[in-house]
């Protein structure tokens, strides 16, 4: 028997018919090893896929979040093709952030998943520089043709030649054309408020 680097050889000398048969090469108790998981980052509402490559195809694995064993369903989908196993996390939310691991026997690889939540916009500033008028000249704010009144929903401020409109607790219905009028002078801007998706 000879061994050179990763090559093993068996030499059978002076063979006779009785030497006929099945020969095997046994190398200890080989364990299935796993590749390292890569950490992922995604935005709320998207999906995340974790990949793990095994040294042996078809070996059963277990996916965990922390110490919780994950079950395949609408939220989590597990796939295995040959020696590659995948975990798909659907419709992610910030609460899905954490440590995920792929466990195969006594082998384990772990990665971190970070989900960025969508920022909830509550207030919007609309400002204009009234350079064509004198400081302190009264102005009128409108949404379309509707004259806006100062109150809980709308707040109007004027500092020197800068005029501001603050829209509080915005909703998609606040989208539209807003204008600031001062005498025969008028400036207009468009605002679009995106509603938050429900999952």
Q: Is the pLDDT of residue 116 over 80?
A: yes
Q: Each residue of 7-46: pLDDT tens digit? A: 556 677 777 677 666 554 544 445 556 678 888 888 888 8
- Give mean pLDDT, residues 132-153: 80
97: confidence class by pLDDT, cuts 50, 70, 90: very high
Q: What pTM did the predictor assign? A: 0.48
Instruction: Say which residue, 25 or 93, is predicted with more confidence.
Output: 93
pLDDT at 192 over 60: yes
At residue 199 the predicted structure's pLDDT band, cuts being 50, 70 and 90, is very low
3-class DSSP state of 186: strand
Domains recognised in the chain with CATH numbers: 40-116 (2.60.40.10), 124-191 (2.60.40.10)
DSSP codes, 1-61: -EEETTEEE----S--GGG-S------S-PPP-BPPP--EEEETTS-EEEEEEBSSTT---
């Amino acid at each position: 028997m000879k061994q050179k680097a990763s090559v093993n050889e068996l030499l059978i000398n002076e063979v006779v018919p009785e030497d006929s048969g099945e020969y095997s090469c046994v190398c200890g108790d080989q364990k299935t090893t796993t590749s390292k998981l890569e950490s992922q980052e995604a935005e709320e509402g998207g999906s995340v896929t974790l990949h793990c490559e095994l040294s042996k195809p078809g070996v059963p694995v277990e996916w965990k979040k922390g110490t919780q064993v994950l079950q395949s369903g609408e939220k989590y989908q597990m796939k295995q093709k040959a020696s590659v196993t995948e975990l798909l996390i659907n419709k992610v939310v910030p609460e899905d952030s954490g440590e995920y691991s792929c466990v195969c026997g006594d082998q384990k690889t772990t990665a971190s998943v970070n989900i960025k939540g969508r920022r909830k916009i509550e207030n919007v500033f609309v400002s204009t520089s009234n350079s064509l008028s004198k400081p302190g000249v009264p102005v009128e704010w409108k949404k379309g043709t509707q004259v806006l009144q100062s109150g809980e929903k709308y707040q109007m401020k004027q500092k020197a030649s800068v005029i501001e409109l603050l829209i509080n607790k915005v909703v998609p219905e606040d989208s539209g054309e807003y204008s600031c009028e001062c005498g025969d002078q008028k400036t207009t801007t468009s605002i679009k408020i995106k509603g938050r998706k429900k999952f």
